[in-house]
């Protein structure tokens, strides 16, 4: 099995980034992310530490993929290669930032039972991928950017067993991942979760009967759309409209019917509330929407 190793990293989503790996459609492969938080000590960190903080694995070039295709990216497995992670809290960052007097970083243990905080509290282990995207239509954009190409969606459900659908803007798609966590709460209220290295196993194909213009994420039970914006309200509106458009396309209904179904059955959830651009997602039961 081929691997995009953690010594081949990028700091932007960009079609000009040289591929760290080339794979065939349907091939299983691994992407390794690094411990990007180890040397970070807050906003005053060194330039080198700030560069490491921005790193992502990739990009991975998928042979045969062309602009206009929709990538079906299956997350087959997630492994945590290290037995530790980091949680940070920064003054002014996130909804809780006004009560944080100074930057603090805490090292936590990752065990089979969960994430152990200061030997006192054990949190459930919920590995997830915070950033996953393709080369955007116009680049480069920062590793923390988000938009129609994917990027920093902060969707806690992008985990083992999920599928991410992304539109393609350049040959090969050029998939990059980063900002991975051993656990993360919706909203990431201090702009940090359990930051850690992560190895993810993927399989990528082209969705022949399904085309997207924005990211769509599915699990065994839900279909989700994502939105971003300067406020959480504006981000929610983008995600809601994306879900309405998806339902119109898949169910053959009009926008008004889609709006009524969304109001009755969909959940609006926080993605990233740390700082603008915020992200929100809309989730609807998969039993209602065939994807």
223 vs 97: CA distance, rounded Å: 32
Q: Check which CATH number belongs to the domain holding 238 and give it.
A: 3.10.28.20
- Give residue 218's pLDDT: 98
Token output for 120: 């006192």
**48 lies in the same domain as 137:** yes
- Give residue 93's pLDDT: 86
**What total of structural domains would you count in the chain?**
2
- Give residue 191's pLDDT: 85
**186 lies in the same domain as 229:** no
Cut 0.85: pTM above it: yes
Beta strands across the sheet bearing 267-272: 2-4, 28-32, 199-206, 70-79, 163-167, 216-218, 222-229, 278-285, 267-272
Residue 211, in any domain of the structure: no
Element (H, E) at 204: strand 199-206
Expressed as residue numbers, the domain containing 150 is 2-82+128-206
Cα→Cα distances 14→24, 42, 72, Å: 20, 26, 20
**228 lies in the same domain as 202:** no
**197 lies in the same domain as 281:** no
User: Which of 185, 188, 180, 189 has the alpha carbon at shortest distance from 160?
Assistant: 180
**170 lies in the same domain as 231:** no
**191 lies in the same domain as 248:** no
Give the Cβ contact number of residue 279 at 10 Å: 28
Residue 147, in any domain of the structure: yes
**250 lies in the same domain as 202:** no
- Give residue 172's pLDDT: 98
- Give residue 168's pLDDT: 98
Mean pLDDT by 10 residues, the chain (291 residues): 94 97 98 95 92 96 98 98 96 89 96 95 97 96 96 97 98 98 94 95 95 97 97 97 97 98 97 88 95 85
Q: Which of 180, 206, 232 is the last residue of a domain?
A: 206
- Give residue 209's pLDDT: 86
- Give residue 86's pLDDT: 98
- Give residue 83's pLDDT: 98
Give the Cβ contact number of residue 137 at 10 Å: 14
């Amino acid at each position: 099995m081929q691997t995009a190793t953690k010594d081949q990293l990028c700091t932007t989503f960009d079609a000009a980034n040289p591929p760290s790996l080339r794979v065939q459609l349907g091939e299983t492969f691994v992407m390794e992310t690094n411990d990007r938080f180890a040397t970070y000590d807050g906003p005053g960190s060194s330039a080198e530490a700030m560069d490491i903080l921005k790193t992502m694995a990739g990009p991975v070039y998928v042979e045969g993929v062309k602009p206009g295709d929709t990538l079906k990216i299956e997350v087959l497995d997630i492994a945590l290669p290290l037995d530790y992670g980091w949680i940070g809290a920064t003054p002014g960052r996130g909804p809780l930032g006004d009560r944080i007097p100074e930057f603090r970083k805490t090292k936590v243990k990752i065990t089979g039972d969960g994430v152990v905080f200061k030997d006192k509290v054990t949190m459930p282990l919920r590995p997830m991928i915070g950033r996953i995207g393709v080369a955007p239509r116009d680049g480069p954009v920062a590793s923390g950017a988000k938009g129609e190409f994917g990027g920093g969606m902060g969707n806690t459900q992008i985990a083992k067993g999920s599928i991410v659908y992304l539109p393609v803007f350049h040959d090969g798609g050029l998939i990059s991942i980063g900002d991975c966590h051993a656990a993360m709460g919706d909203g990431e209220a201090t702009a940090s979760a359990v930051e850690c290295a992560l190895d993810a196993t993927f399989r990528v194909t082209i969705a022949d009967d399904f085309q997207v213009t924005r990211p769509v994420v599915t699990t065994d039970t839900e279909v989700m759309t994502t939105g971003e914006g300067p406020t959480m309200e504006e981000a929610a509106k983008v995600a809601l409209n994306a879900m309405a458009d998806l339902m119109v396309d898949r169910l053959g209904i009009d926008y008004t019917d889609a709006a009524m179904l969304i109001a009755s059955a969909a959940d609006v959830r926080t993605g990233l509330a740390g700082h603008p651009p915020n992200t929100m997602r809309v989730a609807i039961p998969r039993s209602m929407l065939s994807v």
